[in-house]
Amino acid sequence: MHRIVILGAGYAGVMSAVITAARTKRRDDVRITLVNATERFTERLRLHQTASGQEVADLRIPELLKDTGVEFVRGWVTGIDAAAHTVRVDDEQVLEYDTLVYALGGVADTAAVPGADDHAHTLNSRREAELLARRLADAGTRTVAVCGSGLTGVEAAAEIAEQHPELGVVLLGRQEPGATLGVKAKAYLDASLERLGVEVRSGVEIGKVLPDSVELVGGESVAADVVLWTSGVRVSPLAAAAGLEVDGNGRIVTDAALRSVSHPEIYAVGDAALIRQGYGVLHGTCQSGMPTGVHAAESIVRELRGKRPKPFRFGYYHTPVSLGRHDAVVQFTRPDSSPRSFLLTGRRAVWYKETVTSSPWPTYRRLMSMPGMGSVWPRGGRFTR
């Protein structure tokens, strides 16, 4: 019996489990186990909607895994013994593996700035987004500071401003919002934020988060009843503690096939992996995360058949940005994520973004019913979502 254990049921982890199950369903010598802290599937692409007070679908992982043969274990991963090939769950249960897929993802780096961990909200989970939604609905809330001007911060600021026009929303960050977009797309994004009443403060560095304000480096203070932290990403220390080779940010260093360079029986996917491509290091997005999960699954199946896994190759295709429920901008890109001249705005962009963000359930179900799936995920070729 070959035991495959997948840690983390985000986009990459669930995709890895579903594809592996589909491609080994006729084998009785493979056992697949998926471990996650909760039964609920977190649609991270919709957490800013939850945070603004909107209802989104309540998706359950066991429902997705029904009839796949994948065993679901609910619990926190508390340790990995890479030498013994075991995983400890909730310090009580021990799972043995022959192949491990590490898909534990990342969270907002609230440890980077004093006070952020104590006084700022995050969008790390649905529960945290719901806590923020309740805070925003409090009658005493007047101003919201969104710390981090990357795309997560932009989408959150726009969503909050649209759903709560009575609140003042300020977006703080070192870079200008939409800095990686083309000129036209960035201009559209800037105009949309202005229309929504979002105050943008770029070129600033946050020095401290206080209960009622954000202190900037240099001494200036920005008043805020609520602070949302979206800047930076940190990953679980479990991989480093287990002795795997990691980079300075704790991400598992992978070879061309997404295997740990120090422990090749471990695949690393999504935000938890340091993945190099010809144009540089892959940056964590759903667009790139899901294909890493697919590639890990395909590689595991190849190894079960006595073949060598193929190198992972990925090219970016687009950068979709929601600007509330009624506006969006989509920047189409070259494989290295640099902007092309083509873009979508307004209603067409909203439709496109909603299609990209749509529930993964239909996608997973279609993949489960397609033997081979080569027409959807070209093995060894370029992946786009």
pLDDT at 215 over 80: yes
The fraction of the chain above a pLDDT of 70, given in percent, is 93
Is the pTM for the entire model greater than 0.85?
Answer: yes
**Averaged pLDDT for residues 165-191:** 97
Q: What is the pLDDT of residue 366?
A: 54
pLDDT at 199 over 70: yes
pLDDT at 385 over 50: no
Structure tokens at 187: 């201009």
| Burial of 180 from C-beta contacts in 10 A (0-12 / 13-18 / 19+) | middle
Check if the beta carbon of residue 77 is closer than 8 Å to that of residue 88: yes
| Burial of 141 from C-beta contacts in 10 A (0-12 / 13-18 / 19+) | middle
Q: What is the pLDDT of residue 374?
A: 36
| Burial of 240 from C-beta contacts in 10 A (0-12 / 13-18 / 19+) | middle
Q: What is the pLDDT of residue 355?
A: 87
Quickly list DSSP for 286-345. HHHHHHHHHHHHHHHHHHHTT-PPPPPEE---EEEEE-SSS-EEEEEE-TTS-EEEEEEE
pLDDT at 216 over 90: yes
The mean pLDDT value of the chain amounts to: 92
Q: CB atoms < 10 A from the CB of 326, how many?
A: 11
pLDDT in tens, 304-341: 999 999 999 999 999 999 999 999 999 999 999 999 99
pLDDT at 4 over 80: yes
Q: How far is residue 266 from each of residues 87, 172, 231, 384, measured CA to CA in Å?
A: 12, 38, 29, 24
Closest residue by Cα to residue 372 from 25, 58, 123: 25
pLDDT in tens, 331-378: 999 999 999 999 999 999 999 998 887 756 565 555 555 444 333 333
The continuous run of DSSP H or E covering 60 comes out as: none
Check if the beta carbon of residue 300 is closer than 8 Å to that of residue 15: no
3-state secondary structure of 189: helix
> Which of 114-123, 162-171, 331-340, 359-368 has the weakest average pLDDT?
359-368
pLDDT at 382 over 90: no
Q: Give CA–CA dist 99/32, Å, rounded.
A: 10
**What residue ranges define each of the domains in the chain, with the CATH number in brackets?**
2-107+233-315+360-383 (3.50.50.60), 122-229 (3.50.50.60)
pLDDT in tens, 63-110: 989 889 999 999 999 999 999 999 999 999 999 999 999 999 999 999
Q: What is the pLDDT of residue 90?
A: 96
Structure tokens at 363: 């996608």
Residue 127's pLDDT band, with cuts at 50, 70 and 90, is very high
pLDDT in tens, 267-284: 999 999 999 999 999 987
pLDDT in tens, 58-70: 999 999 898 899 9
Q: Give CA–CA dist 282/315, Å, rounded.
A: 9
**Averaged pLDDT for residues 126-146:** 95
Check if the beta carbon of residue 320 is closer than 8 Å to that of residue 333: no
